[in-house]
């Protein structure tokens, strides 16, 4: 198949060549077939076909009356009316001796059609013959269903007696699968391949409608709040931080330097290929927009792209609710101007917080019928890491981590402190045994425990269990280690399970081993039915993240020094930490970054940005130690700051993830019309696919394997 497509493309190239070049090319074998074809274009005319095809086509194209209602619209009040419905005809169900029922489904719902064999004038015969899921149109009369047959779904109170029936488009029989056979769905791979059948499932259809509804609410709120929707470029520029960008070769800019008429087709004469890149987010564009002053409050439902190794439930293209605001606060120091009650929000960007809380409240109110509190809770990163071992804590259940350092016997305690470390514990004690006891047993020896000390407390080791901890062995060889104080402080008794782990006093990264254990225990406890989480959504802001992260092997670009930006290099430091930034106490500098977490899932993040060009340059060169060329690639941004950029900040919410939560599905593939697989394959459109080398040449690239 590919070979022939290639010939088609060659053909097209040839068509654009002047004839003399065409003659010259005839000697080349790859063009030969295509040229033969070009010559034969004035050959046979359109073939005339049998009349039956035409007759069928005319039938398919016959006019039909307009629908009067959708399939989810009729109620008892319509009883007696004549209606016209159209949709997909589902499988017949015979009842009594003379009645047949057919559900008729469209994207709005399902209506029960009834045909009485005795008065159907052949309608039943036609309908019975029609393959399931064919598109049909019926005229009929609405009847109330007998009371005991009524069902609490749209159109569940009525049925429609068919008086006229028309097949609009017959479906193949059999179809690859029946979306209406809920119990018999094939593998996800098959369903993705035939997505146009899978989308017929009411669950997916309803997800798409809900997504549209939420997008509309979001836009409505932001419009009311005076935001301007602006489209930013998707054909963007490759950036140094963009290790995972998609490149887009273009022939636009390079064509000017081509000399198609010269005889020299030497390889060396080809110009350098040029590329756009697809943006991972509109970050730079939106900052420039705000810096310009053209727009005071910007938003966009922005498509973003990331060429990642297929991680679980990620898509190479995704959508975010992206916004940015001029003149956001950099943190208040005039108490009289602070609005609302005091809480943990000690950074700037309160304006962004206000908008997002309003927006999320509107969505939950309209879509879930749930009124969220006026204010979402705020927790610092340090607190989240200490209590939950995660920077996106699931606060729907307890089982908090405890810092046990101060309860340790000496000299262990001092030794830990001296090393700048703490010892943390997760404990399933008597009070929590009925919730997490079974989970604790089940998890024993599993991967999630590997980096921890697990100690099952029994009468025998109640007073000596600390000695079993490997985490402390390097710190103290003094035994026995008394657990008396620990047991008292933590409520450890025989039958408890304790997990221990050391960590640096200042937390780093997204989670600790104890935090991961906590989630694993919760999952097990939910599976076994011992833990039922509240359906009430737990929204939480996490603030005061470390602005910089010690560069490790995972960090890639913009990390030549010891430090990389925890989020991105445009995030402003907390005003309280500016001195530390300039004094080089980098690990202590907290950023004006905020993450919005829902039920333990990060659904968005943003920050107040650096608007001071010299601070931005200091961060680039002194902290991140970027090369001059890397800094140069941000020169337009720095210059924009220098042209009088206002203080500004913004946020982006992951729209796919948000929708997955609202649609109560595990995978974002269920809230995307045409998703790709976890490895980035589009099974429906059969993409990505190889390209014709002749086409690639137009972009001045060739396969690594090619000539």
In the window 26-85, what residues touch its own copies (CB under 8 A)? 37, 41-42, 45-49, 51, 53-54, 56-58, 60-67, 70
Q: Compute the chain's Rg from CA coordinates.
A: 33
Q: Which stretch binds its own copies (CB under 8 A): 167-175, 353-361, 383-391, 421-429?
A: 167-175
Which residues 410-429 are close enough to bind its own copies by CB under 8 A? none
Q: Is 508 in contact with 548 (CB distance < 8 Å)?
A: no
CB of 376 to its own copies, least distance (A): 21
Q: Is 454 in contact with 444 (CB distance < 8 Å)?
A: yes
| CA 607, 611, 615, 621 torsion-angle sign | positive
Q: Is 149 in contact with 195 (CB distance < 8 Å)?
A: no
Q: Binder to its own copies among 355, 542, 586, 652 (CB under 8 A)?
A: 586
Return phi, psi of residue 246, to 5°. -85, 130
Q: Which is nearer to its own copies, 61 or 95 (CB)?
A: 61
Please give the structure tokens belonging to residue 10.
Answer: 């060659």
Q: Binder to its own copies among 395, 661, 682, 694 (CB under 8 A)?
A: 682
Q: Binder to its own copies among 219, 346, 375, 538 (CB under 8 A)?
A: 219
**Distance set, CA 687 to CA 251, 340, 677, 684 (Å):** 22, 51, 11, 8
Across-strand partners of 574?
none
3-state secondary structure of 112: strand
Q: Is 455 in contact with 469 (CB distance < 8 Å)?
A: yes
End-to-end Cα, the chain, rounded Å? 22
Q: Binder to its own copies among 260, 340, 504, 690 (CB under 8 A)?
A: 690
Q: Which is nearer to its own copies, 442 or 702 (CB)?
A: 702
Q: In a 10 Å sphere around its CB, with 0-12 CB exposed, 13-18 middle and 19+ buried, how is residue 272 labelled?
A: exposed
Q: Is 657 in contact with 610 (CB distance < 8 Å)?
A: no
CB of 127 to its own copies, least distance (A): 14
Which residues 168-207 are close enough to bind its own copies by CB under 8 A? 168-172, 175, 194-200, 204-205
Which residues 303-362 are close enough to bind its own copies by CB under 8 A? 303, 305, 307-310, 316-317, 319, 326-327, 329-334, 337
**How many residues belong to the site for its own copies (CB under 8 A)?**
199
Q: Which stretch binds its own copies (CB under 8 A): 92-100, 142-150, 454-462, 676-684?
A: 676-684
- Give dist(CA 271, CA 255) in Å, integer: 9
Q: Is 649 in contact with 328 (CB distance < 8 Å)?
A: yes
Which residues 591-620 are close enough to bind its own copies by CB under 8 A? 611-612, 614-615, 618
Residue tagged 């202590």 (tokens): 588
- Give dist(CA 345, CA 466) in Å, integer: 38
Which residues 513-552 are close enough to bind its own copies by CB under 8 A? 551
Q: Which is nearer to its own copies, 99 or 243 (CB)?
A: 243
Q: Which is nearer to its own copies, 8 or 76 (CB)?
A: 8
Q: Which is nearer to its own copies, 417 or 699 (CB)?
A: 699
Contacts of 471 (CB under 8 A, 6+ apart): 423, 453, 500, 501, 502
DSSP line for 570-583 = TBPBPGGGHHHHHH
Which residues 104-123 are close enough to bind its own copies by CB under 8 A? 105-108
Q: Which stretch binds its own copies (CB under 8 A): 361-369, 418-426, 494-502, 667-675?
A: 667-675
Q: Which is nearer to its own copies, 427 or 659 (CB)?
A: 659
Which residues 5-24 are close enough to bind its own copies by CB under 8 A? 5, 7-9, 11-12, 15-16
- Give dist(CA 358, CA 523) in Å, integer: 31
CB of 602 to its own copies, least distance (A): 21
Please give the structure tokens belonging to residue 406.
Answer: 């101060």
Q: Which stretch binds its own copies (CB under 8 A): 402-410, 438-446, 532-540, 684-692?
A: 684-692
CB of 603 to its own copies, least distance (A): 18
Number of residues assigned to the chain: 707
Q: Which is nearer to its own copies, 18 or 80 (CB)?
A: 18
Helix (H) or strand (E) holding 29: helix 29-39
3-state secondary structure of 359: helix
CB of 68 to its own copies, least distance (A): 11
Q: What is the DSSP letter of 291?
A: H
One symbol per residue from 123 to 152: x for binding its own copies (CB under 8 A), - otherwise; what is it?
Answer: --------x-xxx-----------------
Q: Does 292 bind its own copies (CB under 8 A)?
A: yes
Q: Which is nearer to its own copies, 408 or 581 (CB)?
A: 581
Q: Binder to its own copies among 102, 165, 276, 345 (CB under 8 A)?
A: 276
Q: Does 256 bind its own copies (CB under 8 A)?
A: yes
Contacts of 219 (CB under 8 A, 6+ apart): 229, 299, 301
Q: Does 495 bind its own copies (CB under 8 A)?
A: no
Q: Which stretch binds its own copies (CB under 8 A): 110-118, 354-362, 411-419, 681-689?
A: 681-689
Across-strand partners of 422?
503
Q: Does 393 bind its own copies (CB under 8 A)?
A: no
């Amino acid at each position: 198949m590919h070979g022939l497509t290639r010939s088609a493309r060659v053909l097209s190239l040839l068509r654009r060549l002047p004839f003399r070049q065409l003659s010259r090319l005839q000697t080349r074998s790859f063009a030969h077939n295509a040229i033969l074809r070009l010559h034969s274009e004035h050959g046979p005319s359109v073939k005339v076909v049998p009349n039956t095809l035409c007759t069928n086509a005319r039938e398919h194209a016959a006019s039909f009356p307009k629908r009067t209602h959708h399939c989810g619209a009729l109620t008892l009040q319509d009883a007696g009316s004549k209606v016209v419905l159209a949709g997909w005809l589902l499988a017949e169900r015979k009842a009594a001796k003379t009645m047949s029922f057919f559900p008729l489904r469209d994207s709005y719902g399902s209506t029960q059609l009834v045909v009485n064999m005795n008065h159907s004038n052949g309608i039943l015969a036609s309908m019975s013959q029609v393959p399931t899921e064919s598109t049909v149109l019926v005229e009929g009369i609405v009847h109330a269903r007998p009371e005991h047959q009524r069902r609490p779904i749209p159109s569940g109170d009525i049925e429609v007696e068919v008086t006229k029936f028309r097949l609009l488009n017959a479906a193949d029989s059999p179809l690859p699968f029946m979306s209406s056979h809920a119990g018999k769905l094939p593998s996800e791979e098959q369903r993705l391949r035939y997505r146009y059948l899978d989308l017929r499932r009411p669950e997916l259809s309803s997800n798409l409608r809900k997504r549209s509804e939420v997008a509309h609410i979001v836009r409505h709120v932001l419009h009311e709040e005076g935001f301007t929707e602006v489209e930013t470029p998707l054909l963007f520029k490759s950036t140094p931080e963009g290790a995972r960008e998609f490149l887009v070769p273009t022939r636009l800019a390079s064509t000017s330097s081509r000399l198609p008429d010269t005889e020299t087709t030497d390889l060396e004469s080809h110009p350098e290929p040029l590329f756009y890149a697809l943006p991972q987010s509109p970050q730079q564009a939106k900052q420039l927009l705000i810096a310009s002053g053209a727009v005071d409050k910007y938003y966009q439902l922005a498509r973003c792209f990331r060429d990642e190794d297929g991680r679980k439930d990620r898509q190479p293209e995704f959508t975010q609710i992206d916004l940015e605001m001029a003149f956001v606060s950099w943190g208040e120091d005039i108490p009289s101007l602070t609005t609302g009650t005091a809480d943990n929000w000690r950074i700037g960007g309160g304006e962004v917080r206000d908008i997002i809380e309003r927006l999320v409240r509107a969505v939950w109110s309209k879509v879930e019928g749930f009124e969220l509190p006026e204010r979402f809770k705020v927790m610092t990163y340090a607190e989240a890491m200490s209590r939950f071992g995660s920077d996106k804590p699931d606060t729907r259940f307890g089982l908090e981590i405890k810092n046990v350092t101060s309860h340790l016997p000496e000299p262990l305690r001092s030794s830990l402190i001296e090393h700048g470390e703490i010892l943390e514990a997760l404990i399933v004690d008597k009070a929590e045994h009925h919730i997490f006891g079974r989970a604790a047993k089940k998890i024993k020896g599993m991967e999630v425990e590997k980096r921890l000390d697990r100690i099952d407390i029994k009468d025998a080791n109640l007073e000596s269990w600390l000695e079993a901890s490997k985490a402390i062995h390097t710190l103290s060889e003094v035994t026995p280690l008394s657990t008396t104080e620990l047991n008292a402080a933590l409520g450890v008794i025989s039958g408890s399970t304790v997990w221990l782990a050391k960590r640096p006093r200042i937390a780093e990264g997204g989670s600790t081993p104890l935090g991961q254990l906590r989630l694993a225990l919760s999952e097990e406890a939910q599976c076994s039915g011992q833990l039922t989480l509240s359906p009430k959504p737990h929204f939480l802001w996490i603030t005061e993240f470390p602005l910089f992260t010690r560069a490790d092997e995972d960090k890639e670009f913009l990390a030549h020094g010891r430090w990389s930006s925890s989020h991105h290099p445009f995030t402003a430091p907390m005003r309280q930490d500016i001195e530390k930034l300039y004094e080089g106490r980098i690990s202590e500098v907290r950023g004006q970054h905020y993450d919005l977490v829902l039920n333990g899932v990060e659904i968005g993040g943003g920050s107040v940005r650096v608007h001071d060009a010299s601070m931005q340059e200091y961060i680039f060169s002194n902290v991140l130690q970027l090369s001059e060329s890397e800094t140069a690639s941000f020169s337009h941004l720095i210059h924009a700051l220098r042209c009088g950029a206002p203080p500004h900040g913004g946020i982006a919410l992951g729209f796919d993830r948000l929708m997955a939560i609202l649609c109560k599905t595990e995978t974002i593939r269920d809230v995307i019309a045409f998703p790709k697989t976890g490895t980035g394959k589009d099974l429906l459109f059969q993409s990505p696919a190889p390209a014709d080398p002749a086409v690639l040449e137009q972009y001045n690239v060739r396969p690594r394997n090619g000539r």
